[in-house]
Structure 1
């Protein structure tokens, strides 16, 4: 008796549709960012109560907790980026990231010792590297590079919602229902995330059922890609080294540097803003969370920043954003007294910081994909058959992860040793100094003028 034909699973068309796949990856990124930000307004209060950290050491340990997360993100990004480029099935890599995320969250919930909290944050950083690297590759697999812009915009929106929601949600839950309620909510979100991943069917897996239901004479049939051989999992062919080629581009190096600086600025605010507002204005964790939410509110305008960048190019957007950001960051340093005027000044400056970040961040990540297209035009086939979009974004993620390691350490120790004003002053200098490489290297390079032949030159003079 011959082998029975495999029956397609229920609702396979919906489960393999572009919308469901992009939504699932967006939700995974949303949950990951939500978990990252949940400790921002909570741990300044719980490190002392649960872990026995002296009050004068809370800022230092909060900085270290955030930095350890960035360290896990940094170390995991290259490994999972390589996996995303070579492993043809995304199911197990992405599921591994979600399991790591769940494990780290449960450990963070149950632990009292600072050492275990550090390990939990490191595991969450590894999970973030996996979810971002493999999730981005899955989205590109699904929609194709020509349609990736809109989908990546949705991913950015989900990240923004997570950044806005995390401090506010965790601060509210902690104030009203206590510590356990924060992590119970986080665990439920991760479990929903895992269910969505189980339901998801990748395009390459659904292709055999599409072919089966497509008539052989259908003119669309030749457009269908042949299925991947079932035993072929990795591509280990010796192609050019994309990372080396990409890093030879000053345009990409500048975009990576801008990503690093922006990560330092944003994670610095995450580290010191809750404690600064608590010490200066007497804010609760809820108000501290809402204060940080103002910073990331600007990310909701990322679509408009992307359109502006498409119209006028990344260079003027990034230059204007860095200058505006440096002014706003410097302005934050003057809100150091418990007066209504200082509080209003801080909130207005934080809003401007967020808007400036949006104007810098979106065009910068757009540049990372445009660099790949530019190099491919100049040297066709240099990256092999699979291109280098994921690895280009991987470099940006690695730089951002490095910034999330440096930012908390820099801001935490600066705030503790020299104070709020000098911390904001140094961050403003970081932002302003970025204007120089951005103005020199970002944007599509101007085509070199072709040499005029002698005959053409003489004809032009007639």
Structure 2
């Protein structure tokens, strides 16, 4: 969508290519992606048991198999997408392709009347999701000034939380009030809005992606690029292929960020397959209250994520991430008690319901401290390495490849989370499952304390803008 004016310019080029609009467009894309991913959760039992006609005993196993499919697909697709995304200066084509995949996958899912079409639709959706998470976050990193990095990722986390909580909440409410196709109408409405925004976006030719971190506008032109950076460092040979991943995995804070993001994903995704069935079996709740519990899990991020982003700009990522994980450990332990006969005092009257609801809300609130743990560390690591070794990641930088690894860590956790929690809840017990997640949180807190830094984010990148 590029309307040419009589003077030869493109209609609205200034605001359509502004960093604010580009970041807003990526936020909309990430909202749509997370909305579509979580949308199916509360209506999945109906789809499996009524539309597909499967036995009720298969609901648990097929639920976490379907929800984990996206993670497996992304684990394979993300590094491939990241490799090619860093090879092209203009990423709009990849972004539009991801939108097309999301639309096609949603249509197939909505029309599915067999297990094959259901899994096929989810597969198509997952490919588009991998693209938007890798390319979208790289586009954001290329358009954000250093002093706003934490706040921006905080707002993006807010949008992602809104999509993650809004998906199941809207699906559950509309399904309860109007039925299956009324619920799906909300998903297609959001997709249409995303199509409009994505077509309006024009990539900014003056973004960081098309200039160097040292203010040299000619650095991307091999004929005009200087042999020395402003700091007097010789431009180094580009690290390509598998050597890039080996090099980046030698960076301690990057690895810690990836592990933290993995643990965060395990924590959050563990609710996807266990929460709806647990509240149904223990509290006799249906789709509507289950959807409200997902809102309690993700909703606090709407208010707290920007504040946590501001905090990370001020004090770095070490303390927020450490405190977040260590607080989540006892909360997850307590959440496992309601409905367990070994804790009769907690199940008297409505006490178990109250404790469970408060516990889930606290998880949503405290986990805001973990938002952006992987993406911030990846962005800062790439900037630090490129500052010390100009040109090492090529003319288009290494954001997409680094962030593809962050995406892989998240999706690995999103795969292991439902599988681990579903298996433990079904074969061992819901309480034991929560104890395992609590241990993971405690260990992740220790890891963050020893391997992340307390340096302010704008200090890490401040030399780039000087």
Structure-1-length-normalised TM-score: 0.84
Matches within 5 A, 1:7-406: 7-143=8-144, 148-204=149-205, 225=217, 239-240=238-239, 241-300=243-302, 301-336=304-339, 339-406=349-416
Describe the shift of the 1:292–1:150 C-alpha distance in structure 2 as closer, same or farther (beyond 3 A). Answer: same
Deviations along 1:368-417, one digit per CA (max 9) or x if unpaired, are 32223333454454334433333322211110011111111111122111
For 1:380 and 1:13, the matched residues in 2 are separated by 30
> Any idea what SS the aligned residue of 1:40 has?
coil
**Partner residue, 1:460:** none
Deviation at 1:37, TM superposition (A): 0.7
Is the partner of 2:392 in helix, strand or coil? coil
Of residues 433, 437, 448 in structure 1, which corresponds to 2:443?
A: 433
Are residues 28 and 375 of structure 1, via their aligned partners in 2, closer, same or farther at CA, if it must alter by over 3 Å?
Answer: same
Question: 1:6 Cα shift?
Answer: 7.8
Partner of 2:419: 409
Counting matched residue pairs gives 420
The alpha-carbon distance between structure 1 residues 393 and 54, as it changes in their structure 2 partners (threshold 3 A), is same
Report how far residue 195 of structure 1 moved. 1.9
Deviation at 1:424, TM superposition (A): 0.8
1:294-351 CA-to-partner distances (Å, cap 9, x unmatched) read 1112323122222223333322222211111111111111111674100000011111
- Unpaired segments ≥5 residues, structure 2: 208-214, 222-235, 341-346, 456-466
Matched residues in 2 for 1:348 and 1:8: separation?
55
C-alpha displacement of 1:173: 0.6
Change (3 A) 1:290 1:197: same
Cα distance change of structure 1 residues 439 and 46 upon mapping to structure 2, 3 Å threshold: same
Once residues 383 and 23 of structure 2 are traced to their aligned partners in structure 1, the CA distance between those partners, rounded to angstroms, is 23
Deviation string for 1:237-259 (max 9, x for gaps)?
Answer: 96114322110122211111111
Cα 1:34–1:331 change in 2 (3 A) is: same
Corresponding residue of 2:212 = none
1:55-78 deviation per Cα after TM superposition (whole angstroms, max 9, x unaligned): 122111110011001112222211
Return the alpha-carbon distance in structure 1 between the equivalents of residues 306 and 146 of structure 2: 18
Q: Kindly indicate whether structure 1 or structure 2 has the higher relative contact order, using CA contacts under 8 Å at least 6 residues apart.
A: 2
Normalised by the length of structure 2, the TM-score is: 0.83
2:429 to 415, 419, 428: 419
8 Å CA contact retained: 1:72, 1:124: no
Contact 1:171 1:286 in 2 (8 A): yes
Distance 1:60 1:33, change over 3 A: same
SS in 2 for 1:434: helix
Paired residue secondary structure (1:8): coil
Q: Note the alpha carbon deviations across 1:12-37, whole angstroms, 9 max, x for none.
A: 32322233222211111111111011
Distance 1:437 1:139, change over 3 A: closer
Counterpart CA distance in 1 for 2:404 and 2:80 is: 10
Tell whether the 8 Å contact from 2:147 to 2:313 is kept in structure 1 after alignment: no
| Structure 2 counterpart of 1:451 | none
For 1:314 and 1:305, how far apart are their aligned partners in 2? 10
Q: Distance in 2 between matches of 1:32 and 1:16?
A: 22
Superposed CA RMSD? 2.7
Q: Deviations over 1:195-249 (max 9, x none)?
A: 222222222299xxxxxxxxxxxxxxxx8957999xxxxxxx9611432211012
**CA shift for structure 1 position 39:** 1.1
Aligned 8 A contact 1:367 1:443 in 2? no
Distance (Å, rounded) in 2 between the aligned partners of 1:427 and 1:279: 21
Q: Which moved more, 1:196-205 or 1:252-261?
A: 196-205
Q: Of the two, which has the highest radius of gyration? A: 1
Distance in 2 separating the partners of 1:29 and 1:311: 26
Q: Is the 8 A contact 1:164 1:296 kept in 2?
A: yes
